[in-house]
Chain A
Amino acid sequence: GAVVSQHPSRVICKSGTSVKIECRSLDFQATTMFWYRQFPKQSLMLMATSNEGSKATYEQGVEKDKFLINHASLTLSTLTVTSAHPEDSSFYICSARDTSGNYNEQFFGPGTRLTVL
């Protein structure tokens, strides 16, 4: 099946710094990618939908100026957590949609564990 990678897999940063997370579709083109956040023992919560070449669509309650999304190519979307604080510590997961498949099948990355000190 299609492969989605994320980088880094883990990151620890100081409060107030910014962190960039990359999501890549390795063997297919993805016009749409999704960014999720998952707190321990909870479900995945959709943060935003990233569309190649256009602005991301953010879910209600997600600050677009804090979580900057860039989807500049068909294989790469980035999420930048700006001025990170301890409450931003979470597991961030991206997924990419392979529109060439049936039912717009989605493939998930392995996730990025962010810890803000």
Chain B
Amino acid sequence: GESVGLHLPTLSVQEGDNSIINCAYSNSASDYFIWYKQESGKGPQFIIDIRSNMDKRQGQRVTVLLNKTVKHLSLQIAATQPGDSAVYFCAENLSSGGSYIPTFGRGTSLIVHP
């Protein structure tokens, strides 16, 4: 099940490196996934999404990979910058009555060192 409630794991990288943030989701019926970035004291900000009929999607400097076999998502950030420092959450969405109900993963704190 979801690991909500546990403290956040941390990933520390050097500026310019690539970052990979992982997320395990719990429900094999989830069919829509979103990565969010949350800076301290602010609400989550949409980064990129992917539907279950895809296994890869690319955005600007970000790529999301989906492995439905093992229920795993990853977010890759290229050339990480200090401004990327934040907590990153994946959210799985399960369709219910025609709408999506989101469930957030535990989150990963990304720290980028200049």
Contacts and interface: CB of A to CB of B under 8 A. Distances in A.
Interface of A: 1, 4, 6, 32, 34, 36, 41-46, 49, 91, 93, 95, 97, 103-111, 113
Contacts of A103: 32, 49, 51, 100
9 contacts: A41-B7, A41-B8, A42-B4, A43-B4, A43-B106, A44-B44, A44-B89, A46-B102, A113-B41
A11 B50 CA distance: 36
A108 B45 contact: yes
B5 A43 contact: yes
Say what secondary structure dominates the interface of chain B. Answer: strand
Nearest to A44: B104
Say what secondary structure dominates the interface of chain A. Answer: strand
User: What 4 A-B pairs come out closest when comparing CB atoms?
Assistant: A108-B43, A44-B104, A43-B4, A108-B44
A114 to B, nearest CB: 13
B99 A104 contact: yes
Contacts of B49: 103
Which residue, of A4, A43, A95, A105, has the highest number of chain B Cβ atoms within 10 A? A43
Given A43-B8, A105-B46, 17 more contacts: A6-B43, A32-B99, A34-B102, A41-B8, A42-B4, A42-B6, A43-B104, A43-B105, A44-B104, A46-B103, A95-B44, A104-B100, A106-B34, A108-B36, A108-B45, A110-B43, A111-B42
